[in-house]
Homo-oligomer: A and B are copies of this chain.
């Protein structure tokens, strides 16, 4: 089942923002694009890391919800940053965002890669529902 929240632009290629099969839900790599406006190209939140990161979290969460899941179900989060210098600030934002989790936080891998100009962070997530 493809998951396409109303807030999202169509993917830029033939992939799904998220897919759920049985109790496994995979969220595609999300970046900090603001809610889609019809007929306009996607625009990232920003320019700060904080704004982009919070928007990226919101975009992941919208897909989880569309598939009947929540952050509580997420087993693994992959964080792609462009700058090693952003690690500490991203962690602060991350901790505040997940402060209220009542289950085990997801595992996580963070690595530093290239992203298209203007993008500072990309996040994807794997959820396994009970």
Given the complex of chains A and B, what is the CA–CA distance between A114 and B24 in angstroms? 30
Stretch binding the partner chain, chosen from A37-45, A47-55, A92-100: A92-100
Task: Say which residue of B16, B75, B114 sits within 8 Å of A107 (CB atoms).
Answer: B16
Q: Judging by beta carbons under 8 Å apart, are B16 and A111 in contact? A: no
Question: Assuming the A-B contacts A104-B2, A107-B28, are A113 and B116 also in contact, with contact meaning beta carbons closer than 8 angstroms in the complex?
Answer: no
Besides A2-B105, A13-B94, 13 other A-B contacts (C-beta < 8 A):
A14-B94, A15-B77, A15-B94, A15-B105, A16-B104, A16-B108, A19-B104, A19-B107, A22-B128, A28-B109, A29-B109, A107-B124, A113-B113
Interface residues of A (CB under 8 A from B): 1-2, 11-19, 21-22, 24, 26-29, 75-78, 80, 84, 87, 91, 94-95, 98-99, 101, 104-117, 122, 124, 126, 128, 130
